[in-house]
């Protein structure tokens, strides 16, 4: 017989993930409207810029699909199974992998715009260097998380490598 102190309040575990995915879908809706408006308003933009916008949108759509699959596995097919929250699932690629890739694409574009406006190469060079370093850290984190398989294994077995990666 378990006492009431042994029972885990499922709401405290599931609520942050549920609220997070709701916000993510809302922001994806806003992004969808922005992309639609961009293509209607600027039909004569360079193909490279249109490809960048399309690439970021496709990456974000992929990320939200993977996150939705993860939330489904936690709250529907794994309902009541608290151990399911320890499983990494597809979060190793959807959060740090795709997030890092989108970040480096956008930051490099901003760096390009800063270079045009400032007519300087120093600040944009620093931004690009930091962006690529951040991407490397993000991909390293993804690999470490995938290898661990569970969050418990990740935090128990990772050493300085994980700390440095999280610092990027």
Q: What is the pLDDT of the chain when averaged over all its residues? A: 87
Instruction: Please report, for the chain, the start and end positions of each structural domain, with discontinuous segments joined by +.
Output: 1-86, 88-168
What are the residues facing 87 on neighbouring strands? 150
Q: How confident is the model at residue 1 (pLDDT cuts 50, 70, 90)?
A: very low
Q: Say whether pLDDT at 2 is over 80.
A: no
Residue 71's closest CA among 86, 85, 57, 92?
Answer: 85
Q: Say whether pLDDT at 158 is over 80.
A: no
The Cα–Cα gap between 70 and 68 comes to 5
Q: How confident is the model at residue 74 (pLDDT cuts 50, 70, 90)?
A: confident
pTM value is 0.85
């Amino acid at each position: 017989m378990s006492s009431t102190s042994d029972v885990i309040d499922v709401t405290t575990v599931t609520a942050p993930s549920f609220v997070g995915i709701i916000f993510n879908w809302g922001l994806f809706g806003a992004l969808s409207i922005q992309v639609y408006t961009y293509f209607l308003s600027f039909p004569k933009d360079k193909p490279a810029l249109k490809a960048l916008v399309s690439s970021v949108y496709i990456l974000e759509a992929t990320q939200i699909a993977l996150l939705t699959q993860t939330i489904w596995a936690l709250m529907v097919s794994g309902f009541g199974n608290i151990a399911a929250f320890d499983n990494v699932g597809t979060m190793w690629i959807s959060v740090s992998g795709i997030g890092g890739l989108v970040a480096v694409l956008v930051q490099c574009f901003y760096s390009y715009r800063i270079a045009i406006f400032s007519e300087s190469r120093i600040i944009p060079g620093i931004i690009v260097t930091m962006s690529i370093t951040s991407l490397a850290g993000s991909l390293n984190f993804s690999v470490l998380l995938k290898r661990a398989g569970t969050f418990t294994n990740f935090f128990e077995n990772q050493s300085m490598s994980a700390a440095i990666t999280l610092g990027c």
